[in-house]
Structure 1
Amino acid sequence: MDFNLRGAVIQNITGHNQEQLEHTILDAIQSGEEKMLPGLGVLFEVLWQEASENEKNEILETLEQGLKPHQQQ
């Protein structure tokens, strides 16, 4: 069985407005379910592909800062 997860996620959220997209993101994060991670990954891929170089740098800086508390000491 060949299943295109990326395509399914894109198809499922295409046409959603900002409020619906935010709800999808918050629901995925708050549920804490591992099965939601691929969908968030697809959303991140769309974000990255649409971002300018400056926006990509901001994303990377935000990720770096957000991961600092998780570093082992």
Structure 2
Amino acid sequence: MNLNLRNAIIHNVSGNSQDELRDTIVDAIQNGEEKMLPGLGVLFEIIWNNASEEERQEMLQALESGLK
């Protein structure tokens, strides 16, 4: 992923409230457009980097469960 794209995505959502972030995520998922995937990836990267090991394990369990 281009670093400029990552920075642009972060810039676009910086300062958003939790409700705004939720709306962004839900909208990206519901639209199902491929062009939204990099943005979701950047948001997940931020979540992952700020999560505790326990939270990461919970995310991995949810992901594994969702892929079954």
Pick the TM interval, shorter chain.
Answer: over 0.9
Please report how far the alpha carbon of residue 54 of structure 1 lies from its aligned counterpart in structure 2 after TM superposition: 0.1
% identity of equivalent residues: 61
TM-score of the aligned structures, taking structure 1 as reference length = 0.89
Partner of 1:56: 56
- Displaced runs of 4+ in structure 1, greater than 2 A? none
Partner of 1:67: 67
Partner of 2:11: 11
Cα deviations across residues 9-36 of structure 1 (Å, max 9, x unaligned)? 0000000000000000000000010000
TM-score of the aligned structures, taking structure 2 as reference length = 0.95
Partner of 1:71: none
| Count of residues in Structure 1 that have an aligned counterpart in Structure 2 | 67
Higher radius of gyration, 1 or 2: 1
What value does the CA root-mean-square deviation take over the aligned residues?
1.2
Question: What is the identity, as a one-letter code, of the residue corresponding to 2:26?
Answer: L
Q: How does 1:19-58 map to 2 (within 5 A)?
A: 19-58=19-58
Unaligned runs of 5+ in 1: 69-73
Question: What is the identity, as a one-letter code, of the residue corresponding to 2:16?
Answer: H
Unaligned runs of 5+ in 2: none
Please report how far the alpha carbon of residue 67 of structure 1 lies from its aligned counterpart in structure 2 after TM superposition: 0.4
The structure with higher relative contact order (CA 8 Å, sep 6+) is: 2
Question: What is the identity, as a one-letter code, of the residue corresponding to 1:36?
Answer: M
